[in-house]
């Protein structure tokens, strides 16, 4: 049991002219206490603190925040590994609605832009499409994305061009369908990525890989897409 | 009847009280698997459909379902839908409605294949077909050898299905109201449901969504309990909205305790872990399920396994310094099985129990998991209530599917793998029935202003200022009370005390005050509205449990240890008004096959 100091980003557009950092002290923190647990305990004392949360186990992707300068999920980040005071801020590069809640719409828009659904052109059979375990394995590391936004909002290219560069999360999803043996729109998908921004603003900075709470590798997926494009040209 | 000739989806401005109005053919409340499957059916039929969800759709709790979805594909072992039906009826402890169960089990294979066509990345067998694993309560040939019926995408099946359904809705251009919270249903004098009053969480502004049909798909109420496997959003919102609209809740005494939540914390460890060969041991290292279920052992029904664990703990054979849990052993499995088939639960174990299941057993305990009861419906998803001559008269314009509904395919105990199936089957069925209803219903009815005003008053109650108890304290007290007084084992005295405690909390709710009265993204206000919902649902659960003097499925009465088919093979109906209870018969007649009559339930 120990005491932890936190410094939390606060901004309420109805009452604050500008954002500020507010300090909190929490006692009775155990090695198991996660950042989200701490935020919930703070909210019990000060209900004006707003943040998103749901599953509490790293599956729903609601509580992506910036903790000590690094994007992560509050619910699976233990306080015990963090330097104090623990600085909690909203995801960078996004407009803040209130406190730790940011407007995720630009992120979701880019996700929708890659047409993230299976496209089949042949008549649909009455049984499942056959897919070998090896073909299915190509989707591992891609389908697990929880759309938390940690990667795209850690990406300088996305900060600069959130409307033109699709960002790591959307590109990972694009590759998830390009890599699916069942999808029949590969050429169309690759053609749609052909401009100087959508895909090619990735400069392999690899912040996305570093922060992904699910251990996924968007930079690798982006590289695979580029290779597919080259193959298509040849 | 007066009608207004406006197109669906068109904003309507001539409003009283200056509350904005939107108008759709159908309003779907909740964007988990049930709501999204229904919305997809409707959007594909060119209905104007609005989906309201208090979280972005892929944050809905379907995302956390792990083990899989049952369908008798027979890809691994022989199987057919009739055996699945038998297992489900038996699992329900004969409280499930056999027409709905037949409908669900027959539809299962086709709907799993449809999900595969939607893009769900199911795990695969060598021949390229969908991977299936054994799960609890499954048998071949009506109670014979273990079956392998659960279609899985590793141990992230819910995630895979929810994302695929959301993606299909993007394709179908479904209209989403993300981060809108539904406050109350709008109902007119003739008992027609006309939509709902919702608020935008981002702006705090109310909005009236008018619809010819409204579908509740708001999920369960796991947050009734302090330790639960559920997301924080699972607060029984749709159930409570129904109660406030005068609609009863059915079979709310049946709460499933999952045998394997991480001890003391609650994160779910899928039944798939036992399906892949894991088993439970007590402090003596004994595989104790052999004593409780000699045939099915660790793959007996969840109620049976949870009671066995609770009994081991009560009799002093629990593990840990407090002897309050048992261990789930996977260490004898090939590491590759864990890495390929159970990667998600390995992550959860390492993060929350500091245990890598490849080389150490996971501490687990029975944990509140699933609400078998809910809003009574028929197999078309229509909400049905006792009215006039019939016990099951549809409420015009109102539907419910998934965990918030009680159709009832799960009866007194749900089988693992049947909830993902339930939401897809009945989400689709409700969508189809709504399409029919819309075909006959060309115009919106006149909005009922009284009903709108009541919802706005309900909302305005949280603008009251002053001192009072906090939402957080009262919710904690409610969760502790439910855990202490309405848990795995129950009896008369404990439940009696539970009722008075929950009623006391219900009275004190009136004195709760918010300190934060701001508009923009005020989550304190949302939590207050959720607490009201939880309290309404808690009243339903304790009152229903107190009255049922038998043990059936998940409802275990120490003072009435036997199932009593003569007096209690019937569904409970709880009404909010005066906490009244009523009962209706179980639908024993299947659609085409012979009924499965009740018999002793042995695993």
pLDDT at B1: 34
Token pair of B529, please? Answer: 């509205």
Token pair of B113, please? Answer: 């294949």
How much of chain A exceeds pLDDT 70, in percent? 100
Is residue B329 classed as helix, strand or coil in its secondary structure? Answer: strand
User: Pick the catalytic residue: B21, B156, B302, B557?
Assistant: B302
Which of A47, A58, A215 would best serve as a mutation to test chain B binding (most B beta carbons within 10 A)?
Answer: A47
A13 and B470: CB-CB below 8 Å?
Answer: no
A136 and B121: CB-CB below 8 Å?
Answer: yes
* B302 included as an active-site residue: yes
pLDDT tens-digit profile of A88-126?
999 999 999 999 999 999 999 999 999 999 999 999 999
Task: Provide the shortest C-alpha distance from residue A162 to chain B (in Å).
Answer: 20
Quick one: average pLDDT of A140-161? 98
DSSP at B443: S
pLDDT at B2: 35
Q: In chain B, which among 454-513 make CB contacts under 8 A with chain A? A: 470-472
Token pair of B505, please? Answer: 């909390």
The pTM of the full predicted model, rounded to 2 decimals, is 0.96
pLDDT tens-digit profile of B541-559?
999 999 999 999 999 999 9
Question: Taking a C-beta distance cutoff of 8 angstroms, is the pair A66, A88 a contact?
Answer: yes
* Chain B, nearest residue to A11 by Cα: B520
Per-residue HEC secondary structure of B71-134 comes to CCCCCCCCCCHHHHHHHHHHHCCCCCCHHHHHHHHHHHHHHHHHHHHCCCCCCECCCCCECEEC
DSSP at A128: P
Task: Provide the shortest C-alpha distance from residue A206 to chain B (in Å).
Answer: 23
Q: In chain B, which among 126-145 make CB contacts under 8 A with chain A? A: 126-130
CA distances for B516 relative to A12, A112, B528, angstroms? 11, 35, 11
Give the residues of chain B that fall short of pLDDT 50.
1-5, 13, 15
pLDDT at B17: 58
* Chain B, nearest residue to A130 by Cα: B128
* Chain A, nearest residue to B179 by Cα: A52
- A-chain CB neighbours of B475 within 8 Å are none
pLDDT at B388: 78
Task: Provide the shortest C-alpha distance from residue B269 to chain A (in Å).
Answer: 12
Say if the ipTM goes beyond 0.95.
yes
A143 and B121: CB-CB below 8 Å?
Answer: yes
Burial letters A194-216, b for 16+ CB under 10 A, else e: eeeebbebbeeebbbbebbbbeb
pLDDT at B8: 55
CA distances for B556 relative to A232, B213, B430, B537, angstroms? 64, 38, 33, 20
pLDDT tens-digit profile of B499-558?
999 999 999 999 999 999 999 999 999 999 999 999 999 999 999 999 999 999 999 999
* Chain A, nearest residue to B109 by Cα: A127
pLDDT at B55: 98
How many Cβ pairs closer than 8 A exist between chain A and B? 152
Q: In chain B, which among 323-382 make CB contacts under 8 A with chain A? A: 344, 347-348, 351-352
Q: Which of B116, B123, B233 sits opposite A129 (nearest CB)?
A: B116
Task: Provide the shortest C-alpha distance from residue A90 to chain B (in Å).
Answer: 14
By CB atoms closer than 10 A (0-12, 13-18, 19+), residue A57 is buried
């Amino acid at each position: 049991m120990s005491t932890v100091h936190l410094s939390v980003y606060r901004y309420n557009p109805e009452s604050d002219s500008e954002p500020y950092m507010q300090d909190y002290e929490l006692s009775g923190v155990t090695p198991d206490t996660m950042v989200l647990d701490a935020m919930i305990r703070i909210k019990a004392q000060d209900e004006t603190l707003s943040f998103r949360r749901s599953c509490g186990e790293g599956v729903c992707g609601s509580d992506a925040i910036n903790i000590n300068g690094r994007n992560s999920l509050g619910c699976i980040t233990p306080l015990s590994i963090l330097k104090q005071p623990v600085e909690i801020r909203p995801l960078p590069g996004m407009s803040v609605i209130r406190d730790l809640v940011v407007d995720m719409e630009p992120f979701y828009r880019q996700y929708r832009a890659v047409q993230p659904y299976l496209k089949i052109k042949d008549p649909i059979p009455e049984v499942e499409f056959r897919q070998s375990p090896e073909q299915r394995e190509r989707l591992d590391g891609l389908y697990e994305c929880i759309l938390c936004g940690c990667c795209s909002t850690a990406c300088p290219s996305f900060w600069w061009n959130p409307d033109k560069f699709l960002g790591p999360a959307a590109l990972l999803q694009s590759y998830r369908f390009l890599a699916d043996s069942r999808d029949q729109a590969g050429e169309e998908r690759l053609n749609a990525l052909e401009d100087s921004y959508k895909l090619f603003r990735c400069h392999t900075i690899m912040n996305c890989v570093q922060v992904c709470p699910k251990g996924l590798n968007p930079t690798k997926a982006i590289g695979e897409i580029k290779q597919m494009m080259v193959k298509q040209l040849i | 009847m007066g009608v207004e000739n406006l197109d669906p989806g068109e904003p309507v401005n001539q409003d009283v009280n200056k509350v904005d109005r939107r108008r759709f053919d159908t309003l779907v409340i909740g964007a988990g698997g049930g709501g999204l499957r229904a919305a997809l059916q409707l959007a594909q039929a060119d209905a104007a459909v609005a989906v309201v969800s208090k979280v972005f759709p892929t944050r809905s709790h379907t995302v956390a379902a792990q083990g899989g979805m049952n369908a008798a594909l027979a890809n691994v072992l022989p199987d057919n839908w009739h055996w699945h039906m038998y297992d489900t009826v038996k699992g329900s402890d004969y409280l499930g409605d056999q027409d709905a169960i037949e409908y669900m089990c027959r539809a299962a294979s086709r709907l799993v294949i449809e999900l595969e066509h939607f893009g769900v990345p199911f795990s695969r067998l060598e021949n390229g077909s969908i991977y299936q694993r054994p799960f609890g309560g499954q048998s071949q040939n009506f109670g014979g050898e273990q079956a392998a019926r659960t279609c899985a995408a590793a141990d992230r099946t819910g995630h895979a299905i929810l994302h695929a359904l959301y993606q299909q809705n993007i394709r179908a251009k479904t209209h989403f109201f993300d981060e809108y919270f539904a406050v109350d249903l709008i109902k007119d004098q003739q008992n027609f449901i006309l939509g709902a009053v919702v608020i935008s969480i981002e702006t705090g502004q109310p909005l009236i969504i008018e619809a010819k049909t409204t579908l509740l798909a708001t999920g369960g109420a796991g947050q009734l309990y302090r330790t639960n496997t559920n997301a924080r959003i699972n607060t029984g919102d749709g159930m409570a909205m129904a109660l406030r609209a005068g609609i009863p809740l059915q079979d709310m005494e049946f709460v499933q305790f999952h045998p394997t939540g991480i001890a003391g914390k609650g994160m779910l460890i899928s039944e798939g872990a036992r399906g892949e060969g894991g088993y439970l041991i007590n402090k003596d290292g004994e595989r104790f399920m052999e004593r409780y279920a000699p045939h099915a052992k660790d793959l007996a029904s969840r109620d049976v396994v949870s009671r066995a664990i609770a009994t081991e703990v009560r009799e002093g054979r629990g593990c840990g310094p407090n002897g309050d849990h048992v261990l789930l052993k996977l260490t004898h499995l090939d590491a590759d099985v864990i890495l390929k088939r159970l990667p998600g639960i390995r992550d959860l174990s390492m993060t929350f129990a500091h245990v890598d299941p490849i080389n150490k057993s996971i501490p687990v305990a029975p944990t509140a998991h699933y609400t078998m009861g809910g809003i009574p419906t028929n197999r078309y998803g229509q909400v049905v209530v006792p009215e006039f001559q019939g016990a099951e008269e549809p409420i015009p314009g109102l539907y419910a599917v998934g965990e918030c509904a009680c159709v009832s395919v799960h009866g007194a105990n749900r089988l693992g793998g049947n909830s993902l199936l339930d939401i897809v089957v009945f989400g689709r069925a409700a969508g189809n029935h709504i399409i029919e209803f819309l075909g006959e219903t060309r115009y919106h009815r006149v909005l009922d202003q009284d009903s709108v005003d009541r919802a706005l008053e309900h909302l305005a109650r949280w603008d009251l200022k002053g001192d009072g108890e906090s939402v957080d304290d009262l919710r904690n007290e409610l969760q502790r009370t439910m855990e202490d007084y309405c848990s795995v084992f129950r009896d008369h005295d404990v439940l009696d005390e539970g009722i008075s405690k929950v009623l006391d909390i219900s009275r004190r709710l009136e004195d709760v005050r918010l300190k934060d009265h701001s508009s923009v993204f005020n989550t304190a206000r949302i939590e207050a509205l959720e607490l009201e919902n939880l309290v309404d649902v808690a009243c339903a659960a304790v009152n229903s449990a107190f009255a049922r003097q038998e043990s059936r499925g998940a409802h275990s009465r120490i003072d009435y240890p036997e199932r009593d088919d003569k007096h209690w093979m019937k569904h409970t109906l709880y009404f909010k008004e005066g906490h009244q209870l009523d009962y209706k018969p179980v639908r024993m007649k299947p659609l085409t096959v012979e009924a499965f009559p009740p018999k002793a339930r042995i695993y």
